Amino acid sequence: MKDQETIRNPFRAVIFDLDGVLWDGEPLYHEAFNLVLARYGHQLNDEDYTQIMGHAVDACWQWVRERFGLTESLSDLLIAYDNAVVDLMRRPAEPLPGVRALLDELTRRGFPLAVASASLRPWVDTTLAGLGLRPLFQAVVSASEVDNGKPAPDLYLAAARLLRVSPGKCLAFEDTAAGVAAAKAAGMSVVQVRVASTALSLLPNADMVIENYSQFDLSLLDGQPVQATKPGSATIETAVPSSLNSPSTGPVKP
């Protein structure tokens, strides 16, 4: 949270990233990378994986090809990776602690909800169904439906458009630098979530940081100033911008 600026207008909708925000999915994708790379004698360590977290799948594999000098085609690697992910997704999964309670409360309060994920549509649908969360979202956008993945704003703009809410009236929950950049580029305020096992250090562009979902003060959504604490700092006032220039297309709610 930044400085002393407070919200003057309440939010109208909430948009969530999927992996690392609604469930601890990044370890599964990391494992899938290494299942494919093992065939070529390589392994993606934690530091390497952090470099690609949150980016579109094809961009990730292009980075990996260059990192290890692989000669296999990008299409072949993507097919192998998709197969590995689908196999791993057969494992049981649960939402991160506090997710279901927050979604239920947001639903009770009448907030339209969406998912904006850089993962492919089949993975997103499988994950949300397995977590039992799909009925709670009025819109779901994946990398399969947009031209540009995160950090471009396409996913968030598409989600806001489907909800028929101006991007500047949407609050986004993200866990990666690419995701935060995407939501900010769309004109949204962003909460960095540091709940998953792959939680990153504090991202300077995030408007708010939470270590667990119980730290999120719902009164913020109504435009009320709240107190919150960044790790290692004194209590400071929430710094979600009061107004943002937000590009949008199609009919939106004021």
Residues 224 and 173 reside in one and the same domain: yes
Among 189, 135, 186, 138, smallest CA distance to 162 is for: 138
* In the predicted structure, residue 5 carries a pLDDT above the cut 60: no
Sign of the dihedral defined by the CA atoms of residues 221, 227, 231, 233, in that order: positive
Residues 18 and 41 reside in one and the same domain: no
Residues 183 and 71 reside in one and the same domain: no
* In the predicted structure, residue 178 carries a pLDDT above the cut 80: yes
- E-strand ranges in the chain read 13-16, 113-116, 139-141, 170-174, 189-193, 208-210, 227-229, 235-237
Catalytic residue among 17, 19, 24, 207: 17
Specify the range with the lowest mean pLDDT, choosing from 51-55, 96-100, 118-122, 242-246.
242-246
* Confidence (pLDDT) at 225: 55
* Confidence (pLDDT) at 50: 92
Residues 63 and 127 reside in one and the same domain: no
User: What gap in Å lies between CA 207 and CA 239, rounded to an integer?
Assistant: 6
CATH number of the domain enclosing 52 = 1.10.150
Mean of pLDDT values over 199-225: 89
Mean of pLDDT values over 205-218: 94
The number of domains in the chain is 2
Supply φ then ψ for residue 171, to 5 degrees: -105, 130
* In the predicted structure, residue 224 carries a pLDDT above the cut 90: no
Q: What is the pLDDT of residues 47-63, one digit of tens each?
A: 999 999 989 899 999 99
* In the predicted structure, residue 192 carries a pLDDT above the cut 60: yes
Q: Of 61, 88, 115, which marks where a domain is finished? A: 88
Q: Of 88, 103, 133, which marks where a domain is finished? A: 88
Residues 191 and 202 reside in one and the same domain: yes
Residues 36 and 73 reside in one and the same domain: yes
- For residue 115, give both structure tokens: 């998912």
2 part of a folded domain = no
Residues 104 and 230 reside in one and the same domain: yes
17 catalytic? Reply is: yes
Cβ(150)–Cβ(182) under 8 Å?
yes
Domain that holds residue 183: 13-24+95-237
Among 61, 179, 177, 202, smallest CA distance to 115 is for: 179
246 part of a folded domain = no
6 part of a folded domain = no
pTM above 0.95, yes or no: no
Q: Of 88, 109, 127, which marks where a domain is finished? A: 88
* Confidence (pLDDT) at 9: 52
Q: Give the rounded percent of residues in the chain with a pLDDT score beyond 70.
A: 84
Residues 81 and 121 reside in one and the same domain: no
* In the predicted structure, residue 236 carries a pLDDT above the cut 50: no
Residues 53 and 114 reside in one and the same domain: no
